Amino acid sequence: MEEGKDLGHSVRTNISRVLPVKALQFLLLFLILGLGFSIISMYTFRFFAVQEIAPVGATSILPCFEEAENIESWIRPPSNLLHTMNDTELLWRASFVPQISNYPFKRVPKIAFMFLTKGPLPLAPLWERFLKGNEGLYSIYVHTLPSYFGDYPSSSVFHRRQIPSQMVEWGKMSMCDAERRLLANALLDISNEWFILLSEACIPLYNFSIVYRYISRSRYSFMGSFDDVGPYGRGRYDQRMEPVVTLSQWRKGSQWFEVNRKLAVSMVEDITYYPKFRDFCQPACYVDEHYFPTMLTIQFPQLLANRTLTWTDWSRGGAHPATFGKGDIREEFFRKIFEGQLCLYNNQPSSLCYLFARKFAPNALEPLLEFASTVLGY
Ligand SMILES: *[C@@H]1O[C@H](CO)[C@@H](O)[C@H](O)[C@H]1NC(C)=O
Ligand SMILES: *[C@@H]1O[C@H](CO)[C@@H](O)[C@H](O)[C@H]1NC(C)=O
Ligand SMILES: *[C@@H]1O[C@H](CO)[C@@H](O)[C@H](O)[C@H]1NC(C)=O
């Protein structure tokens, strides 16, 4: 028993002496294996990490390259209209024209509605209604007094559509400068194809589909241009404009025009006629009635309808047309505008001659909104 005990003891001690050695060997093996694994994993991590960092780095840098190389950046309209270009820079930039006539993307041509105003747009709710549901087919530009800021809610079509503006004096070159500024800003959006000049007192006479179809299917641009032999026409011509502009080339027309992109570019890039009109057409020569009609008639007579799309009532006489207020807006008033019109549209007689009308006082808004759905169709 004792021996057994001793033997047992010795066996036990043997085992207990052997176990630590085995355990140590085991531990050592683990240690080596663990070390091996950690070294391998460190290298593999480094290897893959490098592999992974490269694409991560690439994607975080690529958008910068894509901005410059992707066609999107040329198609996308400017996100902010408040650029820092002065007029010289703006007109130069706006005069860029693609030399390949087919666009390499699906271009939906838009109408640019350009509002030339002192500040507020009292008839804005009417325009909002007219434009509603036609997003993607139009853009808005507003030229105001430089000090004015129109705070339109983000839901409004006029929200952030003010362009960098300057002082405008009635009948002077600064008026044409403002019109060129509007055209140039609108030209920066490659999708704008037709450019319409409007005032805060203008209203649309038909719904958007009719307006869009009429303008997009016309072979001509609607610039009023005629040879008025009287004192308010040829009488305003100054011979010092020769030979750039001769008396027989001299034209008169309404300030409120619609032109296509080609003509809009020629209006912003002009350096031939501009100095002549600036120097030799000063009040009582009202340059905004002569500069564009004359210049475009000389350059592109075959592209002009020679009539304006904006109805104006000059029947009361004087230097300013009639302004219509709350009391004037009745059913028979619209009959006066719509009936008895006759003009040429794509060389065919048409009774649809005007798409817009002026001038309307701010208090005309309420009755106009009432008639909008029944008489005007929007
Ligand atoms: C616009 O800036 C350029 C460069 O500073 C200058 O040459 C040009 O005369 C400026 N144009 C206007 C209209 O101020
Ligand atoms: C626009 O007006 C015309 C004629 O009144 C009508 O046929 C057409 O449905 C109207 N379009 C829309 C979108 O309301
Ligand atoms: C507009 O007037 C010009 C010249 O004044 C003429 O050549 C052109 O044919 C006219 N346009 C239309 C549509 O009659």
Distance CA 298, CA 302 (A): 10
Phi-psi region of 326 (alpha: psi -120 to 50; beta: other; left: phi over 0): alpha
Q: According to the model, what pLDDT value does residue 79 have? A: 86
Tokens standing for 300?
């592109």
Q: What percent of the chain has pLDDT over 90?
A: 77
Q: Report whether pLDDT(36) > 90.
A: no
Examine the pLDDT at 298 and tell me if it is beyond 90: yes
- Render pLDDT for 208-251 as a digit per residue (tens, 0 to 9): 999 999 999 999 999 999 999 999 999 999 999 999 999 999 99
Residue 286 has a pLDDT of 96
Distance separating the N- and C-terminal Cα atoms of the chain: 116
Q: Residue 69's pLDDT is what?
A: 74
Q: How far is the CA of 157 from the centre of ligand 1 (A)?
A: 32
Sign of CA dihedral 145, 148, 149, 152: negative
Give which of 173, 146, 176 is closest to 162, Cα–Cα. Answer: 146
Residue with tokens 């709350």: 326
Q: Facing residues of 73 across strands?
A: none
Any atom of ligand 1 within 6 Å of the Cβ of 86? yes
Read off the DSSP letter of residue 320.
S
Report whether 129 contacts 372 (CB < 8 A).
Answer: yes
> Strand, coil or helix: what is 360?
strand
Ligand 3 atom closest to Cα of 344?
13
Protein residue with least CA distance to atom 11, ligand 1: 88
Residue 254 burial (CB < 10 Å; 0-12/13-18/19+)? buried
Q: Whose CA is nearest to atom 13 of ligand 2?
A: 209
Closest by CA position to 220, among listed 194, 201, 245 = 194
Which tens digit of pLDDT belongs to each residue from 165-187?
999 999 999 999 999 999 999 99
Q: State yes or no: pLDDT of 56 exceeds 50.
A: no
Pocket test for ligand 2, best of 137, 209, 212, 352 (most atoms within 8 A of CB): 209
If one residue of 83, 85, 87, 88 were mutated to test the ligand 1 pocket, choosing by the most ligand atoms within 8 A of its CB, it would be: 88
Task: Report the atom number in ligand 2 closest to the C-alpha of 378.
Answer: 14
Compute the distance between CA of residue 335 and CA of residue 375 in angstroms, rounded to an integer.
10
Average pLDDT, rounded, for the chain: 88
pLDDT tens-place string over residues 62-96: 555 555 578 888 889 988 999 999 999 999 999 99
Structure tokens at 84: 């820092």
Is residue 237 within 8 A of residue 276, CB to CB? The reply is no
Q: Using a 6 Å cutoff on CB, does residue 350 contact ligand 1? A: no
Work out the burial of residue 234: count CB atoms within 10 Å of its CB; fewer than 13 is exposed, 13-18 middle, 19 or more buried. middle
Q: 98 C-alpha to center of ligand 2: Å? A: 35
* For residues 150-172, average pLDDT: 96
Among 9-23, 148-162, 228-242, 333-347, the least confident range: 9-23
Per-residue model confidence (pLDDT) at position 74: 85
- pLDDT value of position 319: 79
Centre of ligand 2 to C-alpha 210, Å, is 7
pLDDT (0 to 100) of residue 252: 98
Spatial distance between the Cα atoms of 191 and 136, rounded to a whole number of angstroms: 9
31, pLDDT greater than 80: no
Alpha-carbon distance values, 261 to 75, 187, 339 (Å): 15, 8, 31
Nearest to 341 by CA among 206, 213, 231, 217: 206
Residues with Cβ within 8 Å of 54's Cβ and at least 6 positions away in sequence, in order, are none
At 327, the amino acid letter reads G
**The pLDDT value given to residue 9:** 46
**pLDDT band, very low/low/confident/very high, at 35 (cuts 50, 70, 90):** low
pLDDT at 193 exceeding the cut of 90: yes
Ligand nearest to the CA of 92: 1
Residue-wise pLDDT tens digits, 272-297: 999 999 999 999 999 999 999 999 99
Residue whose token pair is 């808005």: 140
The reported pTM is: 0.83
Supply the pLDDT for residue 4.
Answer: 43
Q: Which residues form ligand 2's pocket by a CB distance below 6 Å?
A: 207, 209-210, 377
Pocket probe for ligand 3: among 222, 225, 292, 302, the residue whose CB has the most ligand atoms within 8 Å is 302
The whole-number average pLDDT for the span 7-17 is 46
Q: Which residues contact 74 (CB under 8 A, 6 or more apart)?
A: 190
Instruction: Give 204 or 42, the one with higher predicted confidence.
Output: 204
CA neighbor of 139 nearest in space, from 173, 186, 202:
186
The Å distance, Cα 74 to ligand 3 centre, comes to 35
Mean pLDDT of 200-209: 98
Closest-CA residue, ligand 2 atom 8, reads 209
For residue 330, with 0-12 CB atoms within 10 Å meaning exposed, 13-18 middle and 19 or more buried, which class applies? exposed
Q: Tally the residues of the chain.
A: 378
